Structure 1
Amino acid sequence: MTQRLDDALAIARQAAELRLKRVWSHRKKVASPLEVESALRELRGAPAPEPLREWARRLGLSALETEVFATLAALRTERGLAMQVGELLGTYGRTTPTVSILALMLEPTWGTLELHEALRGHGRLRLLGLIDLLDLGAPLDERRLSVSDWALRAFAGLSRELPELLRPLGFWMAEPELPLPQIDEGLRSTVSAHLAAGADPCTVVFEGERGAGRKQLGRVMAGRPLLVADLTLLSGDEAVFGAVVETTLGFALAHGALPWFELGDGRDAHGAPVVRDVTEEGAARPSEASSRPSWRERRLLADRLEAYGAPAAASVGPHDAWRWGTSRHPSLRVVTPESDLPVQERAWDESSDRLGVALEPAVMARRFPLTVRGIRRVSERVEARHRAGLGASVESLLGEAREGLRKDTGMLARPVVTDLGWDDLVLPDDLRTQIDEVITSARHRETVLGRYGMRRWGKGGFHILLAGEPGTGKTTLATLMGKALDRETLQVNLDQVFSRYVGETEKHLVRVFALAERSQSLLLLDEADALLAQRTDVKQANDRFGNLAVNVVLQLMEQYDIISVATTNRESGLDEASTRRFSYRFTIPPPDVEQRARLFRKMLPEGVTIDADLDWDWLAEKVEVTGGLIRNIMMRMAALAAANGDVLTTELAAAAVNREMMQLGRLPIRLED
């Protein structure tokens, strides 16, 4: 393959040729020729070529393991030798040797039992994926074995192209391009010492959210390249998992890199933590197929790392419960901090320059506290829109940033926006005045608490309760309040927050409140009676867990300095203690006749000709519905008008109203009334 390979294997090829002659003599049951034995003794006394000695030092190979590797490499690269092996096996073609033939070749220097031990799973040849042991299930002596493709290429000093097994899930980590998260200098020095080439065996586990800069931080601390293998992409075949781990360890060691394993967030498909085992963690093991990697795969990885004998690293989520360290192979856990405002501002500033979009980095960092990687992904998606001819604008950037914020919550909350304005919301005048006062109070809240010294009299958030019938505009009002305060509105996804696993619902709630505080978003607790229902006497386990969730929400409302709006259709169903947490409580009444007429007129479809005799005041008097139902009626009217040549007549309007009334189980209106 290369001159380096020829030089390194020159002695191994000569020895292999002589040993094969001796094997033939053994087969014929005659003594090996004296000149063969003499030549073998002379070769054993000669020093190994420097490339082979350096390879053995780098990978920690024993003398036997080094000789096995060199012999297999010689058989793999010399066609004449391979043909002789084929003749010994009776195949008369190029083939790979069996363990029994290799044992005969290495006698009497190495015994069969010693060779078997070197080929076990904990030996360096197998642990580092240097050889391929074929014919799984056959007796060990009958199994064929060969040096792996990547090991031969690495030994020959060829390119660092990833082995085929790693290409779908591995990559080299380049020098960091993004701003790094801040970390204590003492911890940085300690971790750097543990990750340096030649350091004592240790697994450094970087904990944090995806995109928090764990690999970038590890790359800087290690001071050498990272070979990253994303084990979450594997399908669940334990044999393939083991082969990937072994190849990653060997390939990284061969190239002086740090092996790095991506392990996900430590949860199974149902959100339950993957634990080490029952006796150590005191919890039941989840289904093996429910998580990637499963607990069995993690255990296999831990065993391989313990035998590795060199530094390694892994990235896990913030909820990872696995214990990696042992007495022989310690571990060090590094909690990657969330990106702070200065780092986020620099990232947004870079995105602004790259996209040519005018934005305020400080405002974006406050409204969208994404990870640095998350900010980069937002700008990449906007760039893709621009290349597709859709243009890059502040609106497109805000839209992608909101999507990034939704993903950052783990789908526990989602940003909500509205194109409506205050003029589109029909409220009683006195209620509108009170809402304006609330917005003013919220806007100047920091002045009241800080400059006026009112914070010492109590902490907690600024919470508003909106009660009323369905369709009265509570959610729209909350979103408009967020817009008026120049804040994003985060709506809690109840179906994602509630979990069947003990303690998980509470953790989800803490995460949502923490994000709302960090991003200074308005938190919308829609249908709050699901979170703040009246606590009941504990008669069964469900009662206790339900009460616990209510207790946690009440505590979070006092602990986190946020602005929240809770909406409910049943104020009487809320827990009594929750009423004290709300700074303001409003009941949104259904619209009266005049307000209904205004809503009908506001929602008139554009481009539709309205019949002159269509009386909206008469219609508002006949139909006692909320604004949400008026919207449904107007959508029906628009559909009927589209089918009638863009003309809306009184008959079509009455038909739209009556179809909605039928769905509500009410009597239809009659035009002659």
Structure 2
Amino acid sequence: MNIETQPPENNDIVASAMDLEWARLHDMLSLSEALRTGAQLDDQFAQRFAALSETVSDARTAGSWKGLSVMIPKEVLDQLTPMDLDLMVLALAPVARPAFAPRLQSLQPQIAQPWPGLALVQELLMLESSEEIADLIEKLTPTAPLVRSGLLKVEGNTPLQTLRPGPILIRLMLGRDPELAPPPGASLATMRGRWDQLVLPEPTLRQLREFGAWVEHRHAMTRDWGARAVHGPLALFSGASGTGKSFAATVLATELGERTGAPWALYSLDLGRIMSKYVGETEQNLNALLDSLEGRNAILQIDEADGLLGKRGEVTDARDRYANLEVSHMLARFERHSGPVILTTNLRANVDSAFLRRFQLVVDFPTPDVQARSALWKVLLPPDAPIAKRVDLDKIGDAVRLSGGAIANAATYAAVLAYADQGKVDLPHLARAIWAELTKDARQVRPSEIGFLSEFLEVAA
């Protein structure tokens, strides 16, 4: 079947055409239910069903499935037949129209789930001859277009195999995330950021913009240039603590939402929540996490991935061998994931060189210099906070060497102190906030380390 290779221009038209598919499926289910229960269908059912089937066929020819062309290569689409489209309708039905789920499940009590099994597929599509059934099986083999391209998933063992829609099919034809619940082991980052809040050198900013361009255009390249399926990107953000690695991820999520016109979620993963001492459980947890993320508009961020990326040691026993295999599996699985993944590390020097080749982008976040520190103070103090005239933020940036994260903490602390005093942000507030930040390490801090602010420290205390 020839499917036009340009994306639909009017989503309402496509949605209306898909409504015809669901109406036809409704009648197919009604026929099967009547055959099971002995209920009588009205006299006009056969004529109405035939007319509806013809209308669906016309809508398909007119491009009701053109949405697939956004991510599926033309050579795959050209191989799809009317039966392939029927199979996608059946697989999508429980997701597109949740009311279909209990009806499908009641028609196949031997499976006890709403995903259509092969027996029900054969019944609904009225496949009777051996040739038709052989054609059905052929369309569900691992090398068939539907399965190879990720549009359909075949699960279970013969003869109780079921059809599920691939995340890519749900995204393309329904325009929604495949799953609503948060992915297992990850938490949603609710903070958002803007480029003007991200104080970094231009080379670093350029790489971050290239990350966004990769995500935004990867599928269009497949459609327009015939490129192979482009996954990821898998990126490594490297830099000392507080240099903006995590905040950059929030900026990217915000930017992608604005670029694509659809919200992008940022999920943060603590490796401790998926890594397990039991053999095979780490891989199982990771696979469940990434499977849940497939097809979503989401970035996965893994902070403090130093342990995962560290140089592999010499194998002296079975535990060492398994640990190395576990890490290799995790990185390979991240690499195969279709969506963007960001790993952060504070110690790039400790990263195994064999792992670096797996990353499409490696972005270095330098410690802020004098100009960057001054800019950070200006960005991170509340924009509407009144500031005393004698406060020179350029001078403060020069006087005290803090990371971006430390400046963010100190700026908030100083603002809180000033607000509590019902006054302006002044040098005593800044001195006290910076001193509190420096003394977090439980080391002996000399007043000279805060430069000219030291003369305000006693007043602040």
Shorter-chain TM-score bucket reads 0.5 to 0.7
Q: Out of 474, 478, 481, which is 2:245 matched to? A: 474
Distance change (3 Å), C-alpha of 1:650 and 1:513: same
Residues 32-52 of structure 1: CA deviation (Å, up to 9, x unaligned): xxxxxxxxxxxxxxxxxxxxx
Residues 36-74 of structure 1: CA deviation (Å, up to 9, x unaligned): xxxxxxxxxxxxxxxxxxxxxxxxxxxxxxxxxxxxxxx
Distance change (3 Å), C-alpha of 1:219 and 1:499: farther
Task: Give percent identity, aligned residues only.
Answer: 27
What CA distance in whole angstroms lies between the structure 2 residues aligned with 1:652 and 1:506? 49
Q: Out of 642, 645, 654, which is 2:419 matched to? A: 642
Q: Quick check: 1:474–1:588 contact (8 Å CA) kept in 2?
A: yes
Number of residue pairs aligned between Structure 1 and Structure 2? 325
Corresponding residue number in structure 2 for 1:533: 310
Corresponding residue number in structure 2 for 1:430: 203
Distance change (3 Å), C-alpha of 1:470 and 1:619: same
Letter in 2 for 1:577: A
What CA distance in whole angstroms lies between the structure 1 residues aligned with 2:425 and 2:165? 56
Residues 489-524 of structure 1: CA deviation (Å, up to 9, x unaligned): 232232321123221111222223333332142222
Corresponding residue number in structure 1 for 2:333: 556
Distance change (3 Å), C-alpha of 1:635 and 1:446: same
1:585 pairs with 2:358: no
Residues 381-406 of structure 1: CA deviation (Å, up to 9, x unaligned): xxxxxxxxxxxxxxxxxxxxxxx441
Instruction: Tell me by how many angstroms 1:578 deviates.
Output: 1.5
What CA distance in whole angstroms lies between the structure 1 residues aligned with 2:286 and 2:380? 37
Instruction: Tell me by how many angstroms 1:470 deviates.
Output: 0.6
Describe the SS at the equivalent of 1:489.
strand
What CA distance in whole angstroms lies between the structure 1 residues aligned with 2:303 and 2:410? 24
Distance change (3 Å), C-alpha of 1:221 and 1:641: closer
Distance change (3 Å), C-alpha of 1:655 and 1:560: closer
Corresponding residue number in structure 1 for 2:390: 613
Larger radius of gyration: 1
1:492 pairs with 2:264: no
Instruction: Tell me by how many angstroms 1:192 deviates.
Output: 12
Instruction: Tell me by how many angstroms 1:531 deviates.
Output: 2.8
What CA distance in whole angstroms lies between the structure 2 residues aligned with 1:623 and 1:577? 38
Where in structure 2 are the equivalents of 1:452-471 lying within 5 Å? 452-455=225-228, 460-471=231-242
Describe the SS at the equivalent of 2:309.
coil
What CA distance in whole angstroms lies between the structure 2 residues aligned with 1:672 and 1:552? 56
What CA distance in whole angstroms lies between the structure 1 residues aligned with 2:388 and 2:187? 41
What CA distance in whole angstroms lies between the structure 2 residues aligned with 1:446 and 1:223? 38
Describe the SS at the equivalent of 1:464.
strand
Describe the SS at the equivalent of 2:234.
strand
Describe the SS at the equivalent of 2:191.
coil
Residues 193-220 of structure 1: CA deviation (Å, up to 9, x unaligned): 9x999xxxxxxxxxxxxx9799964554
Gaps of 5+ in 2: 1-21, 39-93, 114-155, 258-263, 457-461
Distance change (3 Å), C-alpha of 1:341 and 1:561: closer
Instruction: Tell me by how many angstroms 1:467 deviates.
Output: 0.3
Describe the SS at the equivalent of 1:555.
helix
Q: Quick check: 2:105–2:112 contact (8 Å CA) kept in 1?
A: no
Q: Quick check: 1:469–1:589 contact (8 Å CA) kept in 2?
A: yes
Where in structure 2 are the equivalents of 1:308-323 lying within 5 Å? none
Q: Out of 403, 410, 419, which is 2:192 matched to? A: 419
Describe the SS at the equivalent of 2:242.
coil
Q: Quick check: 1:532–1:553 contact (8 Å CA) kept in 2?
A: no
Letter in 2 for 1:222: S
Instruction: Tell me by how many angstroms 1:645 deviates.
Output: 1.5
**Superposition RMSD in Å:** 4.2
Q: Quick check: 2:193–2:254 contact (8 Å CA) kept in 1?
A: no
Corresponding residue number in structure 1 for 2:446: 667
Where in structure 2 are the equivalents of 1:82-481 lying within 5 Å? 217=101, 219-222=103-106, 333=160, 335=162, 337=164, 362=175, 365=176, 368-370=177-179, 404-406=180-182, 409-410=183-184, 412-455=185-228, 460-481=231-252
Distance change (3 Å), C-alpha of 1:504 and 1:215: farther
Corresponding residue number in structure 1 for 2:282: 505
Letter in 2 for 1:657: I
Instruction: Tell me by how many angstroms 1:339 deviates.
Output: 7.4
Instruction: Tell me by how many angstroms 1:600 deviates.
Output: 0.9
Instruction: Tell me by how many angstroms 1:471 deviates.
Output: 0.8
Residues 518-577 of structure 1: CA deviation (Å, up to 9, x unaligned): 214222222222333322222244423321221112322443333222211111222222
Corresponding residue number in structure 2 for 1:25: none
Residues 428-452 of structure 1: CA deviation (Å, up to 9, x unaligned): 1232233323433443223444543
Distance change (3 Å), C-alpha of 1:499 and 1:455: same
Distance change (3 Å), C-alpha of 1:643 and 1:333: same
Letter in 1 for 2:219: E
Distance change (3 Å), C-alpha of 1:340 and 1:453: closer
Q: Quick check: 2:244–2:404 contact (8 Å CA) kept in 1?
A: yes
Distance change (3 Å), C-alpha of 1:559 and 1:650: closer
Instruction: Tell me by how many angstroms 1:460 deviates.
Output: 4.9
